[in-house]
Amino acid sequence: MDNNTISAFHISSNKDGVLKLSTNRLYNWHIPKRLRSKHIQPGDIVLVHTKKGKAHVLVMNVFREELEETNRRYDYVYKIIERAPKKVELNSF
């Protein structure tokens, strides 16, 4: 099954590659079907729709939520801005 929901914090600033997050509240957004094949992961930065327009957020969690069961509707993810760095495996000798 494809994940269809993300939880994320708003990014309040990004100076010299250092992110400042607004961690007052964790928000949820719906992943549209056209983006589900892109496999959004925690640590990715995505552009989302909000009540005040579009905003950048840092993904903290990605999960499957049955919208028919929860009866919750979220704004949606618009596009992926930046992928989380890949983890480098270190071989110990």
Q: 41 or 16, which is more confident?
A: 41
Print burial letters for 36-60: b (CB count within 10 Å at least 16), e (below 16). Answer: eeeebeeebbbebeeeeeebbbbbe
Q: What is the pTM of this model?
A: 0.84
% of the chain at pLDDT higher than 90: 56
- What is the reported pLDDT for 92? 59
pLDDT digits (tens, 9 = 90+) for 5-38: 999 999 988 888 788 888 899 999 999 999 999 9
For the chain, give every domain's residue range: 5-82
